[in-house]
Amino acid sequence: MSSKKLTLKALQNKKGVEKITAITAYDALFAGIFDGEVDVILIGDSLNMSFGGCSDTTSLKLEHIIYHAQAVCRKAKSSFLIADMPFGSYTTRDSALRNATKLIKATQVDALKLEVTRTKLHIIEALIDEGIAIMPHIGLMPQYIKAEGGYKIKGRDETQSKELLESALAFEQAGAFGLLLEGIIAPCATTITQSVQIPTIGIGSGAACDGQILVWSDMLGLCSDISPKFVRRYLQGAELIKQAVREYASDVRKGSFPSEQESY
């Protein structure tokens, strides 16, 4: 575990040297547990699903991200902190600048992540010009679920692969500090990673990316009803917690909790 704050430059310097580790967090409790154990903590809009029980990420509001990012920032002092810009909060250059500035000022996260195609290159450029560290999210973009009719793996054909590579290079040229690659077939993600000088963090995009990220509740096995192909469970969390709750409830019903030592 590292107690020293990971800077943007130190994060970038890991490319080609050491794999970047990243995980999501939405509250102070888990942020405190994850802090320093991973390089990056993402306050992701995935919280709308795993934390809020919604079917997708699109209904999440800027105020929700701010609330959860503030909680994470209170406890995470070592890991590099990135927050998602919610759907609809960066539709124009002006709205993006206004909402990104509000998010940064309210939370003090280190950087922001936006799901974008090259049509929003001018927005990325404007945010970076304002002094905000930006990580574009390309490939499978959950905020586009309604427009695309579901979650679509990207890079399967030559045209799509070329577009993704060109987008990655354009965002790098614009000053992005890194890229998140989601749901991109491994050969395409490998080409992107090898073609840019900035680090790539993958999710469902193969092992060649400069780092990997998982949603914490997926990684710990708390979402037993969902099992994406790219998720590796490191704990059967749902069953372990259920068993602990069953034991607690049983002790209460039997009258063995609280004991004399647990009473005032």
Nearest to 187 by CA among 213, 156, 214, 211: 156
How far is it, in rounded angstroms, from Cα 22 to Cα 82? 10
Neighbours of 75 (CB within 10 A): 17
Q: Is 115 an annotated catalytic residue?
A: no
* Helix boundaries (H) for 76-110: 93-107
* Helix boundaries (H) for 116-185: 121-129, 145-148, 158-174
Q: Locate tokens 């354009």: which residue?
A: 170
How far is it, in rounded angstroms, from Cα 150 to Cα 20? 29
Catalytic position from the list 115, 125, 172, 182: 182
DSSP 46: T
The packing angle between helices 93-107 and 62-75, to 10°, is: 30
Catalytic residues: 182
